Structure 1
Amino acid sequence: MAKKPKKAPEAEGEGGEAAAPKSKKKLIVIVMGAVVLLAAGGGGAFVMKKRAAAHAETEASAQPVEEKKAVVFLDVREMMLNLTPDAGQDRAKFAKLRIALELKDAKVEGEVKPLMPRVEDALQVYMRELRPSDLSSSLGLYRLREELLRRVNVAIYPAKVEAVLFKDVIVQ
């Protein structure tokens, strides 16, 4: 069995050096390609962002500037009323309410003020039918606010209240 002769170290080094520059060139090409792609993507994003900002600016300048009208809050008299007892309870519970009506402007306030007795009546009639459990949660208060708003708007029609705001709600 004949042994194969070993290659000289010089021949081995020449082949190793020849393979190294090809892989380095390949790596440099890949890195340069990635850099070019990132630069192009960043430049494109910059241009698109600049165009979007210019477009938004032209839209904003095209719309007329509206004057903000002063919102008016009209206080309703403090109401204290007894609530319908829950099932199984014989002790009466009371509710004390202070609310304000949010109006669009002072013109609407002039229309609503003469109708305040009608508003208070509508609120009291509805509130007397409530149970303490109806006012015990935030969901109950939200429903109460929506129902009061509906009833107030019916009472003062054609004027309109924007919102009913609670100042105090005490159930005892």
Structure 2
Amino acid sequence: MAEVAEEAKAPALAPGLPMKMVIMIAVGMLLLGLGGAALLFHFMKGAGPSAKNEEQASEAPVPAKEGHDIGSKPQTGATAQVGVIYDLDPFIVNLADTPEIHYLKVTVKFELERPDVTEELNKRLPQTRDAILVLLSSKEAAAVRSTQGKLQLREEILQRVNALLPKGGARGVYFTDFIVQ
């Protein structure tokens, strides 16, 4: 009976964790939470009305230049207006290297002048893919590995696609995946 009385006197705490340690952990977690909240408010303070006005000003539409050539290079800089992006499935082709066999895997995206060009590209998708496949398979690995070769390939793809569309409409060509093996 004396043993039961001794066990009842001792509080039932987690074994091995003194009360001071539990309090220190709780205070540390509270301080970390308050510090995180202070950082969040500090960074959110920078996204006030002036930052929103700057974002809206950069998204304002840019008036089209008179005499703008559809096949010209896309605009660059802060005033460039992004057109509709049209995705094509990846291309995997054998390159024209004769003694060795080289492959090219490329994913092409078009920036379009107008949203209605998407419908026209969907109608002419087989012709578009064929024109690009024939062009890609006529290239050699050394030519497409260089930066100049990639830029020239972009221009050639742009010209071929705009030739297929009745009113043109492709503004730019972008490679999002380009592997020569």
Specify which of 87, 90, 96 is matched with residue 84 of structure 1.
96
2:136 corresponds to: 127
Specify which of 145, 149, 165 is matched with residue 140 of structure 1.
149
> Which protein is bigger by CA-based radius of gyration?
1
Residues 99 and 165 in structure 1, CA contact (< 8 A), matched pair in contact too: yes
State the SS of the aligned residue for 1:77: coil
- Which ranges in structure 1 are unaligned for 5 or more consecutive residues? 1-64
Residues 71 and 103 in structure 1, CA contact (< 8 A), matched pair in contact too: yes
Sequence identity (%): 29
Number of aligned residues: 105
Residues 145 and 164 in structure 1, CA contact (< 8 A), matched pair in contact too: yes
Ranges of 4+ aligned residues in structure 1 off by more than 3 Å: 65-70
1:105, distance to aligned residue in structure 2 (A) = 2.5
State the SS of the aligned residue for 1:158: coil
Q: TM-score, normalised by structure 1?
A: 0.56
**1:71 lines up with 2:80 in the alignment:** no
Q: Look up the equivalent residue of 1:129 and give its one-letter code.
A: S
Alignment of 1:1-172 (within 5 A): 66=63, 71-85=83-97, 90-172=99-181
1:91, distance to aligned residue in structure 2 (A) = 2.3
Distance (whole Å) between structure 2 residues aligned to residue 70 and residue 137 of structure 1: 27
- Which ranges in structure 2 are unaligned for 5 or more consecutive residues? 1-61, 65-79
Q: Look up the equivalent residue of 2:139 and give its one-letter code.
A: L
Residues 84 and 112 in structure 2, CA contact (< 8 A), matched pair in contact too: yes
Q: CA distance change for structure 1 residues 66 and 136 in 2, over 3 Å: closer, same or farther?
A: closer
Residues 69 and 105 in structure 1, CA contact (< 8 A), matched pair in contact too: no
RMSD, aligned α-carbons: 2.1
Q: TM-score, normalised by structure 2?
A: 0.53
State the SS of the aligned residue for 1:85: coil
Distance (whole Å) between structure 2 residues aligned to residue 66 and residue 140 of structure 1: 32
Distance (whole Å) between structure 2 residues aligned to residue 116 and residue 162 of structure 1: 17
